[in-house]
Structure 1
């Protein structure tokens, strides 16, 4: 591996400091509070100097910070998957969702950046940002669904039963993410994600509060329902305390 020269090391260090400063602001105040002036002040440079490292300005910084957040999140999700044996499909699907829920509750500003309303700070980069983390998340759950489909087929719509528009979207998603599932199985995977995301978002944004102060039972009920639909209910394990 080639050794970085002094200039390259300084550039890498400055890039890391800028991303770290921007992430601190996002974590404490939200992405909408992010400005070049505030980042520059934390790093100890002028706002104009940031363009030497991030030519795209604030949207590029937001994009790079989002990459860092996704890197950390995906590492935690994959560790949760790997904590269960390969033949326990239910828990390899469920455990990372539990991690995602916990992370979303305790990292709401970062959750908002990745999953919330597009931010002005991200500018045109938001669409690319969203596409990037969708692919990363697909790489966590997709291989489990592929292995499950290969070993234990679950009920799906046939292609003839699907709206042609839906069938095409599933095929496009397969091409984009590399998750090699037939359209019907892809619908099941994405329907699971839609239900899980909806449950997590309702909790993060407080839509059930204060009626339900503890939403974990509803969350776990949803896990069991989804596993039952794929014939995996016997593998379900309640969360450890």
Structure 2
């Protein structure tokens, strides 16, 4: 059992190494087997298709990210969503900058010809990562909902699996709050993506400072006013 677990971990690490050097198109079971000194038949006993391997890699990345974001959220008082949103946002950027290939795998160009299975571990892990931010917005909603009066969002606007998870976890949260959490994530993700792909450096000497300013503005949009803390 330990040998199988170690080999599985090596296969996944080798796949990420190939992706780092040649992009997502380089993920190939045969190429990985060749690099590891395995036969093609042997590697198929671990992952029967390339898409199965890709799904597991994506799930691993999302779960690692979710764990990082959950730890950041829990490092701040549960009744202080403003502090939680700053901690979450900072953790999101730090993770992305430290793990650019993993970031590209889940948020970059799709893996060529990859056909994700319906539901499955990858979708569950992605929903888990999204649910962390939704929980923070849920805590802030009593003070932020007046900013979103008249929202026409309904549960049908969201993926059924994601909507089901959110409604089970936060039964009193309206669709407008879920839409707000996705908009908040979009603002975080925009600057992070520009930085990871190298598009900020030609214009900005300190991307972290720019991102911090955006996080402060985000907290205000949730109905809070923060005193900026010096780094």
Fold match (TM-score > 0.5): yes
Q: Is 1:224–2:216 an aligned residue pair? A: yes
Please name the residue that 1:190 is paired with. Answer: 182
Gaps of 5+ in 2: none
Structure 1 Cα separation of the partners of residues 155 and 135 of structure 2: 20
Q: Is 1:53–2:49 an aligned residue pair? A: no
Please name the residue that 1:66 is paired with. Answer: 58
Please name the residue that 1:26 is paired with. Answer: 19
Please name the residue that 1:104 is paired with. Answer: 96
Shift of 1:171: 8.3
Aligned length: 226
Aligned mate of 2:148, from 127, 134, 157: 157
Gaps of 5+ in 1: 1-7
Shift of 1:12: 3.5
Contact 1:89/1:148, CA 8 A, preserved across alignment: yes
Q: Is 1:35–2:28 an aligned residue pair? A: yes
Contact 1:31/1:113, CA 8 A, preserved across alignment: yes
Please name the residue that 1:210 is paired with. Answer: 202
Shift in alpha-carbon separation, 1:78–1:176, aligned structure 2, 3 A: closer
59-68 or 167-176: bigger deviation: 167-176
Shift of 1:167: 5.8
Please name the residue that 1:143 is paired with. Answer: 135
Shift in alpha-carbon separation, 1:187–1:50, aligned structure 2, 3 A: same
Structure 1 Cα separation of the partners of residues 98 and 14 of structure 2: 19
Q: Is 1:16–2:9 an aligned residue pair? A: yes
Contact 1:26/1:34, CA 8 A, preserved across alignment: yes
Shift in alpha-carbon separation, 1:74–1:237, aligned structure 2, 3 A: farther
Shift of 1:228: 0.9
Structure 2 Cα separation of the partners of residues 48 and 115 of structure 1: 31
Shift in alpha-carbon separation, 1:85–1:211, aligned structure 2, 3 A: same
Please report the TM-score for the alignment, with normalisation by the length of structure 1: 0.80
Contact 2:58/2:105, CA 8 A, preserved across alignment: yes
RMSD between superposed Cα atoms in Å: 2.7
Q: Is 1:124–2:115 an aligned residue pair? A: yes
Contact 1:119/1:126, CA 8 A, preserved across alignment: no
Aligned mate of 2:156, from 168, 183, 200: 168
Shift in alpha-carbon separation, 1:177–1:161, aligned structure 2, 3 A: closer
Shift of 1:41: 2.8
